[in-house]
Amino acid sequence: MRRRLPDYLEPDELDALLDVAPPRHRLYFLLCARAGLRASEAAKLRHEDVIWRDGEPVVLHLIGKGDKEALLPLALSLRRYLPAFTQPTRRGWLFVGYKGGHMTRGAASVWLMADAAKAGIPRRKAHIHSLRHSFATHLLRAGVDLVTIRELMRHASLANTQIYLHVDPERLLGAIESIDIAIAGDPSHRNGNGRHPGGDANSGELRFLDGLAAVIESRRLELLQGEHALT
């Protein structure tokens, strides 16, 4: 079965969403987009899940998918925003829903669809999981390695994290351009008049494929080393 690339919000789209969202909606969206929480995880957060240090919220204690326990560091945006909604002594649901229970994923989806429409965000991106996808995509673009992103996303396998490589084609452009730079700068590939020897299309294509194979093999070894480090 063909796997579809994840939807995500560009940084300016996320900013636009947060600008129009009411305060409590904004907190929920930040938890998904800046801490990587799943929709149900954010909905079921409790005040006592927030770990404080020196009067500041710094870590979330989470029981996530498959009852796996995790300690998630909080981004600066959340450390600054959370104190308006919780304090170290408070207990109970952070997002209170119907009859005193926790809010539902459906309610959060209604929030997002309404606020995304006001922000001019395409409807296909107006689903809660796109916020979590945004978290991983923005980390990758910031240069964070896949193994660390896997830990923050709490994926069971690195293969689940690798899907985010495909939503950032700019990352691949540098690798492709490095092949041309390497070939152009290698004197062994040039003759006396500055042209590549045997400068027919086939030899150029072979050099390109050789360089591409080297880049791919280097990336494969890097990922393997990351997986071994986790075992």
DSSP 9-30: --HHHHHHHHHHS-HHHHHHHH
Q: What is the pLDDT of residues 179-217, one digit of tens each?
A: 666 666 655 555 544 444 444 545 555 555 565 555 556
Catalytic residue numbers, as ranges: 38, 65, 129, 132, 155, 164
Residue 76 to residue 36: CA distance in whole angstroms: 14
Q: Is the pLDDT reported for residue 34 higher than 50? A: yes
Between 101-105, 144-148, 162-166, the lowest mean confidence (pLDDT) is in 162-166
Q: What pLDDT, on the 0 to 100 scale, is given for residue 177?
A: 65
3-state secondary structure of 45: coil
Highest mean pLDDT among 7-11, 45-49, 146-150, 165-169: 45-49
Which CATH number does the domain 11-135 belong to among 3.30.9.10, 3.30.460.10, 1.10.443.10, 3.30.1330.40? 1.10.443.10
Q: What is the pLDDT of residues 82-100, one digit of tens each?
A: 999 999 999 999 999 888 8
In the chain, where are the structural domains located?
11-135, 168-230
Segment 132-150 mean pLDDT:
83
